[in-house]
Amino acid sequence: MIKSRYHISENVLIAPKTYQLVLAGEADVEGEFVDIALPGFYLRRPLSVCDREDGKLTVVYRVVGEGTKALSEMTEGTELEVLTGLGNGFDPEACREEALLVGGGLGVPPLYLLAKELKARGKKVTAVLGFNKAEEIILADAFKAVCDEVLISTVDGSVGVKGFVTDAIAAAHPAFDYFYTCGPMIMMKVVCAALEGPGEASLEERMGCGAGFCYGCSIQTKNGPRRVCKDGPVFKKEELLW
C-alpha cells in the first residue's frame, strides 16, 4: 500500500452519470483498486482500476452520492491523495487457453485491464458485456480493440442480445475454460450458477479502511470470514456463499 498524490488529467462524462477519470502520478503501482481521498468527505472512495499505463491510472465511476458528485465536478489538474496497491485482483494465470469475461454495467471497466493482461499471455478472450440500454454502454470499442470477440446484451434490446449477459452467453455458447465476472451481485451470482467450470468474481462491499485492518467489509465464505478489500475483491467461484 502506497499513499501518494495524483493529479487529474482527464475526468469526462462517457455515459449518463458515468465518468472516466484518468489520474497521473506514480507509474508502476499494483493493486485491483485505488482509494481516493475527497476533500470534505470523511472516508475514501474505493474505485477499481480500469487501465494502467505510462504513469496513468484510469478508473470509471458513476455518480451515486455526494462524494462521487463532488469528484465529477473536479477539473483537470486537481490534486488528489490516493492509496494504491490495494486488493487482490483477477488471476490471468488461472485461464489455460480461452477466457470468458462477463461484465455488467459499472462492472465492465475492471475487466478491461484483465482483458489486456490475458491477451498479453496469448489467451483467446471473449467478453460479454451487459447494460440496461444503448446509452449506458461503455468501453465497447476498447474491448473490441483488445478481445477476440465481444458480445453485448441490453435489457431493453436496443443493442445486441435483448436480456441479460446470461442470455447472450446462452445464444452464442462461447468456448472457455475459465471465466471472470464483475457486476451487480445478483448478476455475478446468476453467472456463477449458470456457467459450468471454474471462474472468479469481483465483489463489492461498503469499505472502511480499504486495506484489511478494520474488518468493515468482511463476508462469510466457504473458507470462513474474508475481507473484500484485502482477501478480495476477487474471489474464486467455489469459495463464495452468496
Partner 1 sequence: MVKDLSVGLCGLTLKNPVIPASGTFGFGLELAKDMDLNVLGGISLKGTTREARYGNPTPRIAECPGGMINSVGLQNPGINVLVNEKVPALRKVYDGCIIANISGFSLDEYRECCAKADVCEGIDIIEVNISCPNVHNGGMAFGTSAESAAEVTRTVRAVCRKPVFIKLSPNVTDIVSIARACEDAGADGVTLVNTFLGMRIDIHRRQPVIANKMGGFSGQAIFPIALRMVYQVAHACRIPVMGCGGVASAADVIEMMMAGATAVQVGAENLRNPFACPEIAAALPDLMEELNINTLQEIIGTV
Per CB under 8 A, 214 contacts partner 1:
yes
Using an 8 Å Cβ cutoff, are 49 and 43 in contact? no
Least Å distance between CB 2 and partner 1? 8
The only residue of 141, 215, 222, 238 in contact with partner 1, by rule CB under 8 A = 215
**Per CB under 8 A, 206 contacts partner 1:** yes
Residue 43 contacts partner 1 per CB under 8 A? yes
Contact call for residues 141 and 113 (beta carbons, < 8 A)? no
With H, G, I as helix, E, B as strand and everything else as coil, classify residue 204.
coil
* CA atoms within a 13 Å half-sphere pointing along the CA-CB vector of 26: 16
Q: Work out whether 8 is an interface residue with partner 1 (CB under 8 A).
A: no
Whose Cβ is closer to partner 1: residue 29's or residue 161's? 29
| Binding-site member from 219, 236, 239, 242 for partner 1 (CB under 8 A) | 219
- DSSP states along 119-160: HHTT-EEEEEEEESSGGG--SHHHHHHHSSEEEEEETTSSSS
Q: Are 139 and 59 in contact (CB under 8 A)?
A: no
By CB under 8 A, tell whether 185 contacts partner 1: no
Q: Can residue 152 be called a binding residue for partner 1 (CB under 8 A)?
A: no
Which string of b and e fits 61-96 if b means at least 16 CB within 10 Å?
bbbeeebbeebbebeeeeebebbbbbbbbbebeebe
The residue within the footprint of partner 1, chosen from 69, 194, 213, 238 (CB under 8 A), is 213
Per-residue contact track with partner 1, 67 to 86, x per CB under 8 A?
x---------------x---
CA distances 58 to 27, 33, 187, 215, Å, are: 12, 10, 24, 27
If one asks whether residue 171 binds partner 1 (CB under 8 A), the answer comes out as no
- Regarding 116 and contact with partner 1 (CB under 8 A), the answer is no
**4 is an interface residue for partner 1 by CB under 8 A:** no
Q: How many residues bind partner 1 (CB under 8 A)?
A: 26
Strand order in the sheet with 234-236: 161-162, 149-154, 124-131, 98-104, 178-182, 199-202, 234-236
Candidate residues 157, 197, 198, 208; the one interacting with partner 1 per rule CB under 8 A: 208
Nearest CA to 111 out of 84, 146, 86 is that of 146
Please report how close the Cβ of residue 218 comes to partner 1 at its closest, in angstroms.
6
Does 46 help bind partner 1 (rule: CB under 8 A)? no
Answer yes or no whether residue 193 interacts with partner 1 by CB under 8 A: no
Could you say whether residue 32 binds partner 1 (CB under 8 A)?
no
Using CB under 8 A, list all residues that contact partner 1: 1, 3, 37, 41-44, 67, 83, 205-209, 211-220, 225, 230
